[in-house]
Structure 1
Amino acid sequence: MALGNTQSRQQPRTTDVITLGLRQNLAQFMLLVAVNALVGGTLGQERTVLPLLAERVFHLDKYTSALTYILAFGLAKAATNYFAGTLSDRYGRKPVLVAGWLIALPAPLLLIFGPSWGWIVAANVVLGISQGLTWSTTVMMKMDLVGPERRGLAMGLNEAAGYLGVAGTALATGYIASSYGLRPGPFLLGAAFIAVGLGMSVLTIGETHHHAKAEAAVHVPVHAGSHAGLRNREVFTLTSFRDKSLSSVSQAGMVNNLNDGLAWGLFPVLFAAAGLSIERIGILAAVYPAVWGAGQLITGALSDRIGRKPLIAGGMLVQALALGMVALGNDFGTWLAAVVLLGAGTAMVYPTLLAAIGDVAHPEWRARSVGIYRLWRDGGFAVGALLSGIIADAYGIPAAVAVVAGLTALSGIIVAARMRGSDHRGQG
């Protein structure tokens, strides 16, 4: 597919040809993969250390209080996701990506020098806004470049890079914290990632919005309702409620991040209470996103072949089983098996959800639909922090994990019952 395009300082000249496809845009695509690995690493600086910081440095004795940083992060990221799509349609993808990195600059300083828990919460508001802009934009830019045929593979590579970045940093910060303390060492790594990510985004990343416009010119809607010219309110209601596939994906994304918020905030505390060392806690905190990240290299491409629905519904049920194992376990071996299974289930779901949005949404409003899906998905962090904190304070962490396991299983059943099964075959 090749179309000419014009206008704008950031778009190609009239003599340029826009070609969609992974092979055709491989150099730019791989640079975006590297940038998203740094986005993930910026988030990973907190996965092992922050729950322990809440308990050991700030002496927060209520889980609900300790999880306020995840609540703040989730709300900030969810809201920013919504605006990221609109902003990237209006101003282009690259300016939004660069803005996200600039906003992240103060976060490591707040985490290192914060004298009270309020500073840590503020750092996570900053980090949530940054992640909403940077991660959302790398998703959109990869969708722009590859076109419809390899979208699942593209999302698998994108999310694999991000969550392998999370995993590697979670493992590294665990070892840094065990040797040099909870502050400042682990967060210096995050500061380095932000500096490199900003430099790469400014110097090496090109604009991709014109690729989406080229695709829109020849797009064939998957089904009635997936057409151009929708207003923001129409895109929101279609993505959130009206379209069976889009709304199924949105609720599954929300529940997925609900259980991820639980894993982020309470798993390290549960493992520490059982007497595990910081090194072993770091291993468990890293294995989950490592399996999640690496598995997406397989599941994203697999969803292009067998469809989105089986992987989403099945993945939610696998996650539910893994959470049940965490709730019942009390030793390193059981928990290691559980986090491997949790990572595998999440790998089945995560890139497939994004690819499913791209299948149904018209290229003209796809960025807005992705932003709305990510609004619901990352709102799951906030819901998970509140729900799991309240239940853990009242009945203990295992009870909170068991409740979230039940919700995750229910989400998988909803996808199986409601989502269309063949949208990915309608494009091309």
Structure 2
Amino acid sequence: MTSSAIEPIPTRPWPAIAATAFAFSVTMMGTTLPTPLYSIYSDELAFSPLTVTVLFAVYALGVVGALSLFGRLSDDLGRRPVLMLAVGFALVSAFLFLLPPSLPQLTVARVASGIGAGFMSGAGTAAMMDLFPPERRGLAGTLAVAANTGGLAVGTLIAGLIAEQAARPLFTPFAVHLALCALALVGLLVWTPAPMGAGRFVIRPSRLRVPAELRHPFARAVLAAGSGFAATGVLTAVSALFLARDLGMGSHALAGFVVFLAFAGMAIGQLVARRMQASVALPLGCGGLVVGVALLALALHGVALAPLLAAATTVGVSAGLCLNAGLATTVQRALPERRGEVSSSFFAGLYTMLALPAIGVGLLATSIGLRGAGLVFTAAVALLAIAVATIDIVTNRRGEARA
């Protein structure tokens, strides 16, 4: 029998909610801070597009590794210790980025950032839901994903703006992040509740299992939201190089703004989806992804900025719709003692779908170029989104017919 160490809901939960959301956002910021700086790293260290996409995607391997090995850790130890561990890895990553850059050092820093994001994605989502009563779990899920995607959006925007103005664009953004990580650790220690009856720290390789009754909606949710993550991931990985090399726009602030639009749109998509049934939000989000990747294809084919900005916004909002619907049909329906495991499984699937297409585009770019690889990718995502939407609509109609 599995033991659990879930913290009690505080009498005044809002300080704990604020501290958890801040720590969540700060940890996720670290994963996108380097995004608008890739063109600088590429110039200084002679990185190819493949190296840049791999460097971007390698953090997702850290995410999936942390979720696979420690998916149930917050269920066993309690949420607060794992949240603090996540922020600790983000702090280590920020410190490594402060060192003189080299490919091995940047890779280790990205992996550390991914491990922190992995711990936070599972434990942070579960912790946020634990702090709300059952009837407000929808709001909890929305706040958790807003903190997640909000951190991703703010990280790239801040890095781009700082890099545009600072004398040391590869140092200053990470110094700011280091300070924010320290502040997040203090907030967690002071405001979040301590676990009761915590178990042992166990490295337990997980098969990323979900309860049998959730497996079918889980598969659809991961494929739908994962399509959005895949589109966002490739756009994030290549946008700085596309702007600098193809459009001749070397502004780091603009590179950060493009990615900000995607993740800010994802946060907006969460809020919109809260007012919808999951059975409506998921196929609608998939349809939006088809439009978004079509705009991205137009930007790549026509070498144009306007459709790139529209693509970032559309992909972000659509991914947010899918992500919220996915959480509503999976993590929110899990029992408290399984919630950390289900949340970890959900995000492991999403980050796998984020990493592999980004690396694939980098590999394909070596033979047909960055733009050609992007066009192949957009077609694949569009087909996947159409398939998932069709399956979801058919499944829901069958369920209604049986009812």
TM-score w.r.t. length of structure 1 = 0.80
Larger displacement relative to structure 2 (79-88 or 387-396): 79-88
Name 1:44's counterpart in structure 2.
32
1:237 CA drift (Å):
8.6
Question: 1:266 aligned to 2:241?
Answer: no
2:66/2:115 contact within 8 Å kept: yes
Residue 260 of structure 2 aligns to which amino acid in structure 1?
A
Q: 1:349 aligns with which of 310, 319, 322?
A: 322
1:280 CA drift (Å):
2.3
For the residues of structure 2 that align with 1:155 and 1:329, how far apart are their CA atoms?
Answer: 39
1:307/1:424 contact within 8 Å kept: no
Question: For 1:172-194, what per-residue CA distance to the aligned partner results, in whole angstroms no more than 9, with x for missing partners?
Answer: 22122122243211221221221
Instruction: Call closer, same or farther: CA 1:311–1:353 in 2, change over 3 Å.
Output: farther
For the residues of structure 2 that align with 1:355 and 1:424, how far apart are their CA atoms?
Answer: 17
For the residues of structure 2 that align with 1:207 and 1:329, how far apart are their CA atoms?
Answer: 55
Query: 1:346-425 alignment to 2 at 5 Å?
Result: 346-419=319-392, 420-421=395-396
Question: For 1:105-154, what per-residue CA distance to the aligned partner results, in whole angstroms no more than 9, with x for missing partners?
Answer: 22122212144211101101111101111232111112223355444433
Unaligned runs of 5+ in 1: 1-6, 13-17, 211-230
Question: 1:200 aligned to 2:187?
Answer: yes
1:303 CA drift (Å):
3.6
Instruction: Call closer, same or farther: CA 1:53–1:105 in 2, change over 3 Å.
Output: same
Name 1:281's counterpart in structure 2.
255
- Give the secondary-structure state (helix, strand or coil) at the position aligned to 1:275: coil
Residue 291 of structure 1 aligns to which amino acid in structure 2?
G
Question: 1:340 aligned to 2:298?
Answer: no
Query: 1:18-417 alignment to 2 at 5 Å?
Result: 25-49=13-37, 51-60=38-47, 62-179=48-165, 180-207=167-194, 233=207, 235=209, 238=212, 243-273=215-245, 274-278=247-251, 279-299=253-273, 301-304=274-277, 307-417=280-390
Unaligned runs of 5+ in 2: 198-204
For the residues of structure 2 that align with 1:315 and 1:361, how far apart are their CA atoms?
Answer: 28
2:286/2:385 contact within 8 Å kept: yes
2:208/2:341 contact within 8 Å kept: no
- Give the secondary-structure state (helix, strand or coil) at the position aligned to 1:365: helix
Instruction: Call closer, same or farther: CA 1:320–1:372 in 2, change over 3 Å.
Output: same
Tell me the matched-pair count.
386
Larger displacement relative to structure 2 (30-39 or 194-203): 30-39
For the residues of structure 2 that align with 1:280 and 1:8, how far apart are their CA atoms?
Answer: 46
Residue 269 of structure 1 aligns to which amino acid in structure 2?
L
2:163/2:170 contact within 8 Å kept: yes
**Identical positions, percent:** 22
For the residues of structure 1 that align with 2:289 and 2:307, how far apart are their CA atoms?
Answer: 20
Instruction: Call closer, same or farther: CA 1:31–1:407 in 2, change over 3 Å.
Output: same
- Give the secondary-structure state (helix, strand or coil) at the position aligned to 2:248: coil
1:244 CA drift (Å):
1.9
Larger displacement relative to structure 2 (368-377 or 125-134): 368-377
Residue 39 of structure 1 aligns to which amino acid in structure 2?
T
For the residues of structure 1 that align with 2:278 and 2:180, how far apart are their CA atoms?
Answer: 35
Instruction: Call closer, same or farther: CA 1:31–1:111 in 2, change over 3 Å.
Output: closer
For the residues of structure 2 that align with 1:309 and 1:191, how far apart are their CA atoms?
Answer: 37
Residue 139 of structure 1 aligns to which amino acid in structure 2?
T
For the residues of structure 1 that align with 2:308 and 2:55, how far apart are their CA atoms?
Answer: 24
1:8 CA drift (Å):
9.5
- Give the secondary-structure state (helix, strand or coil) at the position aligned to 2:220: helix
Residue 379 of structure 1 aligns to which amino acid in structure 2?
T
Question: For 1:232-255, what per-residue CA distance to the aligned partner results, in whole angstroms no more than 9, with x for missing partners?
Answer: 65925959xx93211122233433
- Give the secondary-structure state (helix, strand or coil) at the position aligned to 1:197: helix
For the residues of structure 2 that align with 1:44 and 1:265, how far apart are their CA atoms?
Answer: 10
Question: For 1:178-217, what per-residue CA distance to the aligned partner results, in whole angstroms no more than 9, with x for missing partners?
Answer: 222432112212212211221111221225899xxxxxxx
- Give the secondary-structure state (helix, strand or coil) at the position aligned to 2:249: coil
1:422 CA drift (Å):
8.9
Instruction: Call closer, same or farther: CA 1:84–1:9 in 2, change over 3 Å.
Output: closer
1:28/1:206 contact within 8 Å kept: yes
Residue 45 of structure 2 aligns to which amino acid in structure 1?
F
For the residues of structure 1 that align with 2:399 and 2:154, how far apart are their CA atoms?
Answer: 32
For the residues of structure 1 that align with 2:285 and 2:339, how far apart are their CA atoms?
Answer: 20
1:171/1:283 contact within 8 Å kept: yes
Larger displacement relative to structure 2 (387-396 or 323-332): 323-332
2:33/2:156 contact within 8 Å kept: yes
Residue 229 of structure 2 aligns to which amino acid in structure 1?
N
For the residues of structure 2 that align with 1:421 and 1:146, how far apart are their CA atoms?
Answer: 29
Instruction: Call closer, same or farther: CA 1:353–1:251 in 2, change over 3 Å.
Output: same
Larger displacement relative to structure 2 (125-134 or 78-87): 78-87
Residue 70 of structure 1 aligns to which amino acid in structure 2?
F
- Give the secondary-structure state (helix, strand or coil) at the position aligned to 1:246: helix
2:31/2:114 contact within 8 Å kept: no
For the residues of structure 2 that align with 1:96 and 1:253, how far apart are their CA atoms?
Answer: 25
Instruction: Call closer, same or farther: CA 1:232–1:131 in 2, change over 3 Å.
Output: closer
For the residues of structure 1 that align with 2:264 and 2:241, how far apart are their CA atoms?
Answer: 20
TM-score w.r.t. length of structure 2 = 0.84
1:360/1:423 contact within 8 Å kept: no
